[in-house]
Chains A and B, each alone.
Chain A
Amino acid sequence: MAATLDAQVPVRPAAGALLSRAVREGGFAALITLGLSFPILALRTEQNMANELVLVPRWSWVALLCIAVFIARFVQIYFDNKLTRTLLVLGCFTLLGGLGRAVNAAFDGFAATVFTIGLLLLIAGMVWERRVETAGVTTPLSPAAKARWAVVTRYAGPVALGFLAVYPMAMLALAGPGGSIKWIDNFGIQILIYVMLGWGLNIVVGLAGLLDLGYVAFYAVGAYSYALIATKVIPETFPALGVWAFWVCLPISGLLAALWGIILGFPVLRLRGDYLAIVTLAFGEIIRLVLINWVDFSNGYAGLSTIPRPSFFGIPFNASDTGFAAVFGLEFSPIYRTIFLYYVIFALALLTAYVTLRLRKLPVGRAWEALREDEIACRSLGINTTNTKLTAFAIGAMFGGFAGCFFAARQGFISPESFTFIESAQVLAIVVLGGAGSLVGVVVSSIALVGGFEILRELEFLKQIFGESFDPAQYRTLLFGLAMVVIMLWKPRGLVSTREPTAFLKERKTVSSSLVKEGHG
């Protein structure tokens, strides 16, 4: 947290003055931390046997936290070089982790290893600092390195696509049918759903510049459309459709979501910026609350189950004689359905990206971007802002609906729990953190946020430090909120923040987005 109070001092003051300033600032930060953590971290409320609340003190935690904050702030002020800072802070934190282990459990081999790593990091930091002091300031990227980087970025897209196309097969070959399900489902499909949602929302937020905090509503519309049609309408009215349910409902879900995009978009046409964000949030919550309370329609909190799974274009994935495995002469395994689902969402996501890229070249796409940059200028030029905004809402919602339909088919069960505000915030975070308007940025931030948190589940070694009751997965949302703040502070324009103009005279000049005035939408 101290990393944000960065004051770049151009000339280094005398070492003594700097030291005392660093100590002072560090002490101040530690004092603030003490004040913040005094009641809420130091004393945990727990229920005893008689169901009464009792306080459990945790002063050692507060002490460790204050020391950590002091060190981070001290290092940040006292040392100029980024690598030095990182090494020193990491070293100190590792040492504190070892200390935590020693306090919570015992000073055993594990704690000793952690201590050693921490000390090594500290020594490395000191050595690096000495090198920086003797050799002077390190040079920025050389032209040759920049040229190499340009080559990397040019081929990154096709390589990534190729990788995604062979990913499930490669996983199957590497981990076998049993072990690969987790990798294809939790990482592959999960990330691709968010990539698709991010690309859909990107049309509304990134291209048209309309901040939508209720995008999950359209995701919910798509999911419930498929679930309700497939479980109630099709078996009664069109039983012949049977195995084709998913393929018939996919376009219907998208269209219904687009319709809702227009219905909800229409009243908010006059609003901009923060107000628009809040109203879309309200709409998203209203839809969720209606789904919870209108039990006859949506079955309330209990949700809808036994939603039919997608078929391989008419061939179901089951163990029967007409199932996928039997028809293709394979041994039955649930992995085939997972792999198929992976390719379905991969294709849907690619469709979203393709449509976005094509739309940007059409007048409506240009109008979206014009609207994002300056609404008043846009109106002065005779662009119909009503239609422009509504198409953005409708098309964005449609892709949300497709993703929702897929989600329902993949889970086989949906409930309002899956469509909370936090989902909207997550998708919005993916778009904004990736750099609004950038398709590649959405992929990068989806992998970082969704994949990163999936990996968090796997980090068993943290339990060794913090004790057995420590569950890394519960820090998922906490870290997600923190990541939103930190990335905003670090790169307010997102990770991929350069803009390629779609319309240009003579040559295509890439504009750094910090030069673009934006944000009135």
Chain B
Amino acid sequence: MEVFLQQLINGLTLGSIYGLIAIGYTMVFGIIGMVNFAHGDVFMVGGFIALILFMVFTAWLGVAVVPALVLVLLLGMVLTGLWNWTIERVAYRPLRGSFRLAPLISAIGMSIFLSNLVQVIQGPRNKPLPPMIQGNFVLMGEGSTTVVLAYKQIVIMVVTVVLLAVFWWLVQKTPLGRAQRACEQDRKMAALLGVDVDRTISITFVIGAALAAVAGVMYLMYYGVVNFSDGFVPGVKAFTAAVLGGIGSLPGAVIGGLLIGLIETMWSAYFTIDYKDVAAFSILAITLIFLPTGLLGRPEVEKV
């Protein structure tokens, strides 16, 4: 029971991070029907930006940890958004309307480029940081079988929930979100009705990257280490989450993220930690083969 509860907490924390990344996949897929393969690497770039900014604020400017984290979060969102804006502008926009696989291949190239760019300019080694937030609540149990809720886990979950609320409001209630949903339904019609489609798509990429940047900060806080190759596997898992939740559906992405996080931690706890990535990849394959619309997705209508 204690093990289960502990894994539940860990899984939800991990799942929040996956959910934040998954939103970027699902939004981009919703609006331009493209798997943004480089999104996992944008998340990794976000993690690196967070690492460097955190060091600038704490080591150079002497800001305390908590205000530094808030600043890192805000500035990191802006800078990672700028990265994704540039990527969309340079590598995807010219290919819109080209044959279907061209953007996917461009995105794969971008993914390889980003991870190796960071490897070259920041070095191939792991970048460890001393723990930012220490301490935890002991919820129940004693001795070796305690259930522990670490402060950093609370921070991760709270930040995720708050951001999702803000983001939900942005998509549902603002003119920007309306334009975004209109483009998702019918890009040509939206353009005829005066929606600036290019701008809306750019903003979608920026929002997706901003959430990925938050995920990057959380990842750095949770594991205390970031590496140039950290984009690929979390990226694929977040994509799995987006597919599992039903691609194109925002609540689906979050639910999928939580599910993937839970499955991963439970699998590691009860089966074997060696095959946890195999489990994630298998879920991806099984979902795509047997449940391609996901849990909350709309079925795709085949037009001749």
Residues of A that sit less than 8 Å from B by CB: 1, 4-6, 32, 35-36, 38-41, 43-47, 52-55, 211, 213, 267-268, 270-271, 273-275, 277-279, 281-283, 285-286, 289-290, 293, 376, 421-422, 425, 428-429, 432, 474-475, 477-478, 480-485, 488-489, 492-493, 518-520
Contact = CB atoms under 8 A, between A and B. Distances in A.
B95 to A, nearest CB: 6
Contact of B95 (A38, A54, A429, A488): A488
Given A275-B288, A282-B285, A286-B281, A422 B112 contact: yes
A422 to B, nearest CB: 7
A293 to B, nearest CB: 4
Contacts of A485: 90-91, 106, 109-110, 113
Contacts of A274: 34-35, 100, 104
7 contacts: A38-B79, A40-B118, A278-B243, A279-B284, A475-B120, A489-B106, A519-B101
A8 to B, nearest CB: 12
Nearest to A488: B106
B49 A40 contact: yes
Q: Is the interface of A mostly helix, strand, loop or mixed?
A: helix
Given A274-B104, A484-B105, A478 B281 contact: no
B91 A43 contact: no
Contacts of B53: 39
Given A53-B129, A293-B275, A492-B98, A481 B105 contact: no
Contacts of A475: 116, 120
B84 to A, nearest CB: 11
A413 B108 CA distance: 29
A189 B288 CA distance: 38
A368 B105 CA distance: 21
A278 B102 CA distance: 15
B99 A492 contact: yes
Contact of A518 (B83, B99, B117, B123): B99
A271 B91 contact: no
B282 interface: yes
B123 A483 contact: no
Contacts of A278: 35, 239, 243, 284, 288
B173 interface: no
Contacts of B49: 39-40
A271 B289 contact: yes
A54 B292 CA distance: 46
Nearest to A484: B109
Interface string B14-27: 00000000000000
